[in-house]
């Protein structure tokens, strides 16, 4: 619960502190521990660090300024043809579950993180596909941004009792 409440969207990072390969691997491992429909595990992850790529992404994604300072980003994609059930769109939820695991692990590791939405904004999907030359069947769902926060943000508990509907016992 501590890491869950502590996770906040970080949009400004300390440019002088890098993210290590070990940290990236732990975040990816957390992503791949997520549940997926029919255990399809159709995820593909593209890790990027170069400023050229970040600049390209900022041109096609209108809410991604965090990439000006963040050292690392990971595009979380689904290879639709690797799905367990090809007739359904579970790949969206499968990627979302992986992304949330990654954000929580990043928080646990003391990193700041941010979820940049790609699917289902057509211009972002096409833009990201073009930048990375993704194959036809590979759909980018979101980007996990990682780095050291410039400023810590406070933990948050958003429990809303009125949104919970218990069956009468």
Ligand X SMILES: Cc1cc2nc3c(=O)[nH]c(=O)nc-3n(C[C@H](O)[C@H](O)[C@H](O)COP(=O)(O)O)c2cc1C
115 lies in the site for ligand X, by CB under 6 A: yes
Among 3, 4, 8, 108, binds ligand X (CB under 6 A): 8
Q: How many CB atoms lie within 10 A of CB 82?
A: 15
Task: Count H helices and E strands in the chain, helices first.
Answer: 5, 4
69 vs 147: CA distance, rounded Å: 8
Q: Which is nearer to ligand X, 33 or 156 (CB)?
A: 156
The minimum distance between CB 45 and ligand X, in angstroms, equals: 17
Q: Which is nearer to ligand X, 11 or 129 (CB)?
A: 11
115 is written with which tokens? 């979820």
59 lies in the site for ligand X, by CB under 6 A: no
9 lies in the site for ligand X, by CB under 6 A: yes
54 lies in the site for ligand X, by CB under 6 A: no
Residue position matching structure tokens 């990072």? 13
For 132, the 3-state DSSP assignment is helix
29 vs 41: CA distance, rounded Å: 12
The minimum distance between CB 78 and ligand X, in angstroms, equals: 14
# residues near ligand X by CB under 6 A: 9
Q: In the complex, which residues of this chain contact ligand X (CB under 6 A)?
A: 8-9, 11, 63, 114-117, 156
């Amino acid at each position: 619960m501590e890491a869950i409440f502590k996770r906040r969207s970080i949009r400004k990072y300390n440019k002088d502190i890098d993210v290590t390969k070990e940290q990236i691997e732990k975040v990816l491992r957390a992503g791949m521990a997520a549940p997926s429909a029919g255990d399809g595990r159709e995820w593909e992850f593209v890790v990027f660090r170069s400023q050229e790529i970040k600049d390209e992404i900022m041109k096609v994604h209108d809410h991604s300024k965090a990439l000006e300072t963040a050292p690392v980003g990971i595009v979380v994609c689904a290879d639709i043809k690797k799905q367990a059930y090809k007739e359904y769109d579970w790949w969206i939820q499968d990627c979302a579950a992986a992304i949330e695991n990654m954000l929580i692990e990043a928080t646990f590791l003391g990193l700041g993180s941010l979820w940049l939405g790609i699917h289902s904004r057509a211009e972002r999907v096409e833009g990201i596909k073009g930048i990375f030359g993704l194959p036809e069947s590979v759909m980018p769902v979101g980007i996990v941004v990682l780095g050291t926060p410039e400023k810590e943000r406070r933990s948050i508990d958003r429990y809303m009792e009125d949104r919970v509907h218990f069956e009468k016992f």
